[in-house]
Structure 1
Amino acid sequence: MVVREGKIVEVGEYSELSVRFSSGGPIVHFKDSLIMPGFIDSHIHYPQYKVISSYGTSLLEWLNKYTFVEEQ
């Protein structure tokens, strides 16, 4: 994997990438490791979309006052 400025720019076999990207930059070997991107939880509960960001002093108050009402 080739990373430039914090972004993955190429993925492939070391034998190919080492020839194409021989700039002298650091090579890091992550033996027995899994490299994966970060994840952003972008899911939504559809019945609650109208009350997203509704004010509530506590979770339970918010659920009782807005969310549960919307879901009925």
Structure 2
Amino acid sequence: MILHSVTPIWAMQQMMAEQSEQPTTVLLSETAALQGRIQNGQLLVERILSTDPHDFLRQELSPGKQVKLPQKNRFF
């Protein structure tokens, strides 16, 4: 495949590499989810997705913390 673009090849390669590293989303409840990377069987929190402001104040859900994955298949 030939790609004709004004974007430099190094920038295109970087964009293609970043697409393969999509974060995992884990549902905590009906109103809350976490996004992050799975490391050592736990989720390393990168982002909190919630409609409840109190979820953002919970220390155990802070970005950078590791959270146990739920037993049920509640992630996508």
TM-score by length of 2: 0.21
TM-score by length of 1: 0.22
Give the number of the structure whose residues are more often helix, by fraction. Answer: 1
Give the number of the structure whose residues are more often strand, by fraction. Answer: 2
* Bigger radius of gyration among the two: 1
